[in-house]
Amino acid sequence: MSGYQNWRTPGWLCDHLVSEFGCRVDVTSREFCAHGMKPWPHDGLTTAWPDRAFANPPFNAMGEWAAAALRNKKRWAMIAPASVSARWFHNLADQCMVFLPDVRIAYEDETGRARPDRDSVIFVWPGFYARTIATLGLRLVRDNYKKGET
C-alpha–C-alpha distance, residues 47 and 84, integer Å = 27
C-alpha–C-alpha distance, residues 20 and 104, integer Å = 20
Q: What is the DSSP string of 59-128?
A: GGGHHHHHHHHHH--S-EEEEEE--TTSHHHHHHHTTSEEEEESS-EEEE-TTS-EEEEE-EEEEE-BTB
- Whether residue 62 is contained in a domain is answered as yes
At position 82, the amino acid (one-letter code) is A
- Whether residue 149 is contained in a domain is answered as no
**Listed ranges 15-19, 45-49, 135-139; the one with the highest mean pLDDT:** 45-49
pTM for the complete prediction? Answer: 0.80
Amino acid 70: pLDDT: 94
- Whether residue 118 is contained in a domain is answered as yes
- Whether residue 1 is contained in a domain is answered as no
- Whether residue 116 is contained in a domain is answered as yes
Tens-digit pLDDT profile for residues 54-106: 999 988 999 999 999 999 988 899 999 999 999 999 999 988 888 888 888 88
Q: Which residue has the higher pLDDT, 147 or 20?
A: 20
Q: Which domain holds residue 31?
A: 11-142
Q: Which residue has the higher pLDDT, 31 or 81?
A: 81
Number of neighbouring beta carbons within 10 Å of residue 107: 21
How many separate domains does the chain show?
Answer: 1
* Closest CA relative to residue 142, chosen from 103, 87, 84, 86: 84
- Whether residue 150 is contained in a domain is answered as no
Instruction: Work out the burial of residue 98: count CB atoms within 10 Å of its CB; fewer than 13 is exposed, 13-18 middle, 19 or more buried.
Output: buried
Contact in structure between 91 and 141 (CB atoms under 8 Å): no
